[in-house]
């Protein structure tokens, strides 16, 4: 004969045996029917239930405090405020933006392996928090390249930004100014150096440079950037030729966007984007006034495949402000550009948009930090690519970055809601960083160490 034994819950105390109820199989006391015995047991059980657990018809006075129905809000501002993550802003951006400009932002080179790995790198970490620390006040401020920043993140250079949303670079620079963080204008930005400086006169503006074969044109841009008050020049060096951005190829991406049958159909359920695009000034660039053609042709016309470290020497002699080299993907190159006068490096694989299967900046970070420490170098280490949350930023800082940059993360906000969307993206990241630091038991960035983060599987 098989007996089934129910396991006991180790967190409960067995109830003491009582003789109030008849044992199973025992006869009821003489003179008591079986139904009477059951009714008595039920009555005793009911008497043992606390009054608060007895069922009753609810009173209106009980329900009134619970019935706080809010008027539905469908405005863009309300929707932006409901977004709690950068991913939610991305979803909004995709609904509001035609496929070609959205894919230009969202996509990467070839099979997009590099971008996927960059994002996975931030997922494959383990935070190691400290407890019993006073985290009642969190300080996210830092210094980068000789000046303060309210947050350890700035806006990276992005091309064709007004194509994503009509406010473009103006929204990005003004949001950065309001947040007290740096903004970087791209050589291929769709607003002039002077206009961006005028839009955010009290902001910290940096300028990103693609060196051309025609050094006179490059020199003109450098002089304009200096005159407009940009204190940092960020030269990009990972673009000998344009990467194979297959989404752009499939979408027939052109500057300006062409009105084909496909784009007209795409516009039919995104009329606000087209209305804004067609009723604002045509796209202009920081480096040339007009351009018509494919994105790939424009990129290849801008890049100089003959660049060497000697060109970096020329740039160091020409530019008197802070000089940062963007596109560093090996420890040796990080050390070399510092030897050639760079004040900082940006560990970046161009957001996965150039060489697919390129090194992941987050994985490279500890090695570069170790090399700079051995060299007694005080060059700044800045990291971009793959950042989609404030926790990503904190992880990078813990492993040795001095600062970070966001590209797609702010562009999703821009496409979702213009200037207000960029503001919301920065707010989301700031809230993430504040919460992550507090849960790590850290009250300021200088307290972060590599012990706070472990890269899983390494």
Q: Which of 280, 340, 350, 452 is catalytic?
A: 350
Q: Report the alpha-carbon distance of residue 80 to residue 422 in Å, rounded.
A: 10
Q: What tokens does 148 get?
A: 């303060």
Cis-peptide, bond into residue 256, ω within 30° of zero: yes
Is residue 350 among the annotated active site residues?
A: yes
Q: Which of 188, 221, 181, 212 is nearest to 319 (CA)?
A: 221
Backbone angles phi, psi at 230, to 5 degrees: -70, 130
**Integer Cα distance of 429 and 431 in angstroms:** 5
- Residues with a catalytic annotation lie at 350
């Amino acid at each position: 004969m098989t007996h089934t034994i129910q396991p006991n819950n180790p967190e409960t105390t067995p109830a003491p045996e009582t003789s109030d109820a008849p044992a199973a199989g025992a006869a009821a006391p003489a003179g008591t029917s079986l139904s009477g015995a059951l009714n008595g047991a039920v009555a005793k059980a009911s008497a043992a239930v606390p009054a608060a657990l007895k069922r009753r018809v609810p009173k209106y006075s009980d329900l009134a405090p619970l019935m706080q129905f809010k008027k539905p809000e469908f405005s863009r501002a309300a929707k932006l405020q409901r977004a709690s993550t950068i991913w939610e802003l991305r979803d909004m951006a995709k609904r509001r933006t035609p496929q070609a400009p959205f894919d230009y932002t969202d996509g990467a080179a070839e099979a997009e392996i590099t971008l996927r790995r960059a994002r996975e790198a931030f997922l494959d970490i383990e935070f190691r928090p400290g407890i019993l620390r006073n985290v009642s006040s969190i300080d996210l401020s830092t210094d980068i390249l000789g000046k303060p920043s309210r947050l350890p993140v700035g806006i990276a250079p992005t091309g064709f930004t007004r194509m994503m949303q009509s406010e473009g670079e103006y929204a990005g620079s003004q949001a950065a100014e309001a947040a007290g963080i740096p903004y970087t204008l791209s050589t291929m930005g769709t607003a002039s150096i002077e206009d961006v400086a005028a839009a955010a006169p009290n902001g910290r503006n940096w300028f990103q440079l693609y060196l051309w074969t025609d050094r006179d044109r490059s020199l003109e841009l450098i002089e304009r950037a200096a005159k407009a008050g940009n204190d940092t020049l960020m030269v990009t060096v990972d673009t000998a030729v344009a990467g194979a951005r297959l989404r752009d190829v499939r979408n027939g991406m052109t500057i300006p966007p062409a009105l084909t049958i496909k784009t007209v159909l795409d516009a039919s359920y995104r009329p606000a984007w087209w209305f804004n695009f067609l009723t604002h000034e045509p796209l202009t660039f920081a480096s040339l006034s007009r351009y018509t053609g494919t994105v790939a042709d424009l990129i290849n016309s801008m890049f100089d495949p003959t660049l060497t470290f000697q060109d970096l020497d020329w740039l160091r002699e020409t530019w008197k402000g802070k000089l940062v080299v963007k596109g560093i993907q090996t420890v040796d190159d990080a050390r070399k550009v510092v030897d050639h006068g760079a004040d900082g490096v940006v560990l970046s694989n161009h957001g996965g948009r150039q060489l697919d299967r390129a090194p992941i900046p987050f994985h490279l970070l500890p090695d570069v930090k170790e090399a700079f420490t051995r060299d007694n170098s005080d060059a700044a280490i800045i990291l971009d690519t793959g950042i989609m949350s404030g926790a990503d930023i904190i992880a990078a800082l813990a492993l040795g970055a001095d600062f970070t940059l966001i590209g797609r993360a702010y562009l999703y906000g821009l496409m979702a809601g213009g200037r207000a969307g960029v503001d919301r993206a920065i707010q989301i990241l700031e809230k993430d960083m504040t919460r992550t630091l507090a849960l790590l038991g850290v009250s300021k960035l200088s307290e972060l160490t590599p012990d706070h983060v472990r890269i899983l599987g390494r």
